[in-house]
Structure 1
Amino acid sequence: MRAIVGLAASALVAVAAVKAFSHRPMPPMPPTRLAIESMQFDTIARSQAGLVIGGELGSLLYSGDQGKDWTVAKVQPERQALITQTAFAADGLRGLSVGHEGWILRTQDGGKTWKEVAFDEKNGEPFMGATYMGEQHWMVVGAFGRALRSDDDGQTWQPMVLPDAVADMHLNRVVGSADRQHWLIVGEAGLVLRSDDQGETWTQEEPFYNGSFYDALALPQGGWLVYGMRGHAFVQHDGGPWRQSEIPGPVSFYGHALLPDGRILLVGQGGVVATSTDGGLHFSFDRLPGRASLTDIALDDQGAGWITSTAGLLPYHLPQGAGAASSTAGSQ
């Protein structure tokens, strides 16, 4: 009897072993999904592929249906460096993304695939801004006065010659006029550099504010709006003096949108959206739910679109004709 029980037990063990090591189909894995409703995104741009966003962990995504669905772009090689800005050429196909550790990525299909052209993990200072200058010319700027220019569509880069006084200053953005003849670089300590010869030579504006500027905008009727820390923004027309904008509170602003009717929107700290109907001279406030810092904004001609933030991607809508910002925002 004991022999029979022993044989039975051995048989059960053998069957269990065979079953344990035999091929079995794996259950389907859930699809990989980035939590765009909670990740930090710093930049949003439009291209032939649709909308393109970039942010933490080197993430770049695109949407061909106005933000309903998002696809993770192919990045070669993948890095963990923060993406700070994405910019596209006039054709909507060629583009650059820049970020920390001297990272520069290049696309030729509107942001669906990206290839690295520069990266320096040990000594690479962050790049904070990128812009298309026309034809095959591009420019990127960043920390400690770093500014590079490419004349072969972003494939190779050379240092730009800037005034000696800005060698150690952080450069946050470079922006151009509609005709690409006139350019501004803005940065820390109220830095404003101007070029009136398509970026060939640069001169420093006389200081008029001692805080950082984070971005700038070429105004439709000519002139410039620069903005940044603690609710400070300034407007200049026809090379005249810089006039300070009237803003209700000390909110730092990081991104903007310009609507066809001339309204200007600034987005910034604490979920604040500031709106101007007079070319940037006066702004009114609206506040989105939550306290996230809003980093960039992209709207269509009807005032609908998306805002990137430190706490995810937010849908936004601004009714036409409203003097002050009115919005609906939340996760999607």
Structure 2
Amino acid sequence: MYSLKLLALALALVAGHCVAAPPVDVLDQPAQSSKLADRSPLLDLAQAGKRLIAVGQRGHILYSDDQGIHWTQARVPVSTDLNAVQFATEQQGWAVGHDGVVLHSRDGGSSWEKQLDGRQLGRLMQQYYSARSESEQWQELSKRIETEGADKPFLDLWFSDELNGFVVGAFNLIFRTRDGGKSWEPWADRIDNPSGYHLNAIADDGKHLFIAGEQGLLVRLADNGERFQALTTPYEGSFFGLSAQPGMLLAYGLRGHVYRSKDEGLSWTKVPTGLNSSITASASDRHGQLYLFAQTGQVLASKDQGEHFQSLDLGPSAPIYGAMLAEQNRLLLVGPRGISQRLLVPVQQEDKRGAPHG
């Protein structure tokens, strides 16, 4: 009986110690290794040379050297959710996510280091705007961000090369680097977004850089490269993504809405999709075919630079958050169930009489 009492006391002390232990901040907790990482929720895909990279929840980053057949989990210093990834070269890449995280890889995605997190954003903004005697508006915003802590996500990123890039996110968060992420410059005062709408996507068409956001926000970087200027918006709902190439820009988002511009965002035409679900991702192949992906799993394809789309039947559908075209007509998809693959059939666009043509 005495030994049982001692055992009970020991268990109680252990339980009490566990309860009292302070929680570990996800910004300080490395991502946990998991054999099921490729089946856990993933949000975006990118290419680093011939290597493929996927990012997602709990800091999971995976890479594949055989076009998505097998995946290896990378070493990541945080366990916060990651939203987007891009590689400027085969070796140099960045990923962004919740809690104001910016990660950098120097080795093609095998390992990552933290360059920025939400605990630094407010302080960086205060230092920047105070030194420049900016208006009270930006200094107050900086203080609020620092007071509220690391709770604001970065949602997308764009790098033109291994030195120059932007990261964008919720509540008009936008920072620029000119040295590969060694330092970051706040740009909240250099974007026509007076209501502080979320900045959901950033992309370039080879000539101009664009940002799309909630409430129909669309802006374009001015020719002098010093400010994002408002474009006339064709829609008052949220845009979740952009697909851009020379001479064509698509903005897509809520409830299947897609708009197309042929004049660098100055005017827009609505593109019928037949969807009521939100469009969350896009991809293109080496033949110039364009694909759009819906949150509920539908896939649309276009052979005429987004002027018309038709639905593709790729089998059982599931939510799609990111997509990429791999070799041998394979489509890689990421979503709440991890990574999946589909075989693509070449698109045959219908002419005005409804007859397919190649």
Q: Normalising by structure 2, what TM-score?
A: 0.75
CA distance in 2, matches of 1:111, 1:142: 22
Give distance in 1, aligned partners of 2:244 and 2:97. 24
Alignment length (residue pairs): 287
Contact 2:314 2:344 in 1 (8 A): no
Structure 1 residues 313 and 84, CA gap change in structure 2 (3 angstroms): same
Deviations 1:126-159 (A, max 9, x none): 0000111235101100000000000111222110
Matches within 5 A, 1:183-332: 183-197=209-223, 199-220=225-246, 222-239=247-264, 240-300=266-326, 302-323=328-349
Give the 3-state SS of the residue equivalent to 1:189 in structure 2: helix
Using the size of structure 1 for normalisation, the TM-score is 0.81
What corresponds to 2:30 in structure 1?
Answer: none
Cα distance, 1:37 vs. partner?
5.2
Which residue type is aligned with residue 43 of structure 1? D
Asked if the contact 2:241/2:253 (under 8 Å) is kept, the reply is: yes
Paired position in structure 2 for 1:3:
none
Counterpart of 1:56 in structure 2: which amino acid?
Q
Match of 1:53 in 2: 54
**Would the aligned equivalents of 1:183 and 1:198 in 2 still touch at CA under 8 Å?**
no
Aligned counterparts, 1:6-45, within 5 A: 33-36=34-37, 38-45=39-46
Alpha-carbon distance between aligned partners in 1 of 2:208 and 2:331, rounded to the nearest angstrom: 29
Listed one character per residue, the Cα deviations across residues 209-267 of structure 1 (whole Å, up to 9, x for unaligned) are 011111111134x1311111111011111244200001012121111111222211011
Q: Which runs of 4+ in 1 moved over 4 A?
A: 287-291, 321-324
Coordinate RMSD, CA, aligned: 2.0
1:84 aligns with 2:83: yes
Contact 2:323/2:333, CA 8 A, preserved across alignment: yes
Call closer, same or farther: CA 1:56–1:198 in 2, change over 3 Å: farther
Contact 1:270 1:290 survives alignment (8 Å): no
User: In 1, Cα distance between the equivalents of 2:230 and 2:222?
Assistant: 12
Alpha-carbon distance in 2 for matches of 1:191, 1:308: 26
SS across alignment from 2:193? helix
Matching residue's letter, 2:87: F
Question: 1:94 — aligned with what?
Answer: 92
Alpha-carbon distance between aligned partners in 1 of 2:315 and 2:288, rounded to the nearest angstrom:
26
Question: Between Structure 1 and Structure 2, which shows a larger proportion of helix residues?
Answer: 2
Q: Is the 8 A contact 2:293 2:320 kept in 1?
A: yes
Matching residue's letter, 1:71: T
Q: 1:93 to 1:199 in 2, by over 3 A?
A: farther
Distance 1:256 1:152, change over 3 A: same
1:102 is matched by which residue type in structure 2? G
Larger gyration radius, structure 1 or structure 2:
1
In the alignment, structure 2 segments of 5+ residues that lack a partner are: 1-32, 120-148, 351-358
One-letter code aligned to 2:290? I
Instruction: Report 1:65-84 matches (<5 A).
Output: 65-75=66-76, 77=77, 79-84=78-83
Q: CA deviation at 1:166?
A: 3.9
- Report Cα offsets for 1:253-302 as digits up to 9, x if no partner: 11111122221101122211111122112211235455531011111364
The Cα offsets for residues 105-127 of structure 1, whole Å up to 9 and x where unpaired, read as 00111111100011226334100
Query: Deviations 1:8-60 (Å, cap 9, x if unpaired)?
Result: xxxxxxxxxxxxxxxxxxxxxxxx64324531110011103611000011100
Q: Secondary structure of the residue that 1:144 maps to in structure 2?
A: helix
Q: Any gaps of 5 or more consecutive residues in structure 1?
A: 1-31, 325-332
Moved more, 155-164 or 125-134: 155-164
Q: From the superposition, tell whether residues 63 and 190 of structure 1 become closer, same or farther in structure 2 (CA, over 3 Å).
A: same
Larger relative strand fraction? 1
- Contact in 2 for aligned 1:246/1:282 (Cα 8 Å): yes
Give the Cα–Cα distance (whole angstroms) in 1 for the partners of residues 60 and 211 of structure 2: 26
* Structure 1 position 157 matched with structure 2 position 157: no
Question: Are residue 148 (structure 1) and residue 175 (structure 2) matched?
Answer: yes
2:196 to 141, 146, 168: 168
> Secondary structure of 1:149's match?
strand
- Alpha-carbon offset, residue 162 of structure 1: 2.8
Tell me the percent identity: 30
